[in-house]
Amino acid sequence: MAWRGIDWNSPWWWGVVQAFFLRPSPETAAFISSVERNWGVAPNFAADVSLHIRVGGKLERPKSVTPELYLESAYQYIRYARTRQSGPCARRAEVFVATDSPEVLPVVEAWAASHADDLIVRMQSNTATQKNAKGHRETAPTRGHDQYQAAIEIITDIFFLSRSRVFFGMYCSQIARAAAAIGHAHGTLRDAIALDMDAPDAILNASAMITKYSAGARWEGWRARSHAPRPLQAGACCSE
């Protein structure tokens, strides 16, 4: 009751509202299905771990949170989860990565190749936002088909991010916050871990303009990276 609240002023209800407004349209649902077919997975794919990797942009986004930190944090979480189960892993862990930063793509691809025995890494690539984002800037298509396609791709990313068991992102990112809120509302997300928080009440590079994020993160159910990993249920990452 404390989480859901007795009125609209609770993180669960806020997630329900966002899930409603960001629900896939028929066109977006068809696009999601095409992505799943391209990956060779069943409908309503759900990753064990997902990441939303952002670089550059907002001033409050700490430069110390590199793509490598995202990936290493996720891998350590998966390794920890595997140590919690009694038998051998029956399958590789499924990882979904979302990013609109083209410079992140080769880093993720190299990471996936280096852990191919443990992980299956999936992501959208060559997207409209990736094509328009260059030099660590936050840019977006301004008109026409690219703008429409970018919206579909972003909602698709949120769809897959919100359905994972564990999510790594920056609390300062609106897309990350939406994905975590929807995942909590659906009951699919077990952990949302903020890479830009190194303690429950501290945002990295905190300043007066962003102290609002600390209270919000606690209220919305995020955990600081220093408090991860919390073990998954036995076999959650590895078993059939």
Check residue 218 and give its pLDDT. Answer: 59
CATH number of 26-227: 3.40.50.11350
Check residue 166 and give its pLDDT. Answer: 92
Check residue 45 and give its pLDDT. Answer: 95
Average pLDDT over residues 36-49: 94
Domain-wise residue ranges, the chain: 26-227
> In the predicted model, is pLDDT for residue 87 greater than 50?
no
> Over the stretch 220-230, which tens digit does the pLDDT of each residue have?
778 777 665 55
> In the predicted model, is pLDDT for residue 51 greater than 80?
yes
> In the predicted model, is pLDDT for residue 201 greater than 70?
no
The single-letter code of the amino acid at 80 is Y
DSSP per residue, 175-211 = HHHHHHHHHHHHT---EEEETTEEETTEETT--GGGT
Parallel/antiparallel/unpaired status of strands 223-224 and 197-199? unpaired
Task: Give the pTM.
Answer: 0.80
- The band of 200, judged by pLDDT with boundaries at 50, 70 and 90, is very low
Determine contact, residues 175/154, Cβ cutoff 8 Å.
Answer: yes
Average pLDDT over residues 7-12: 66
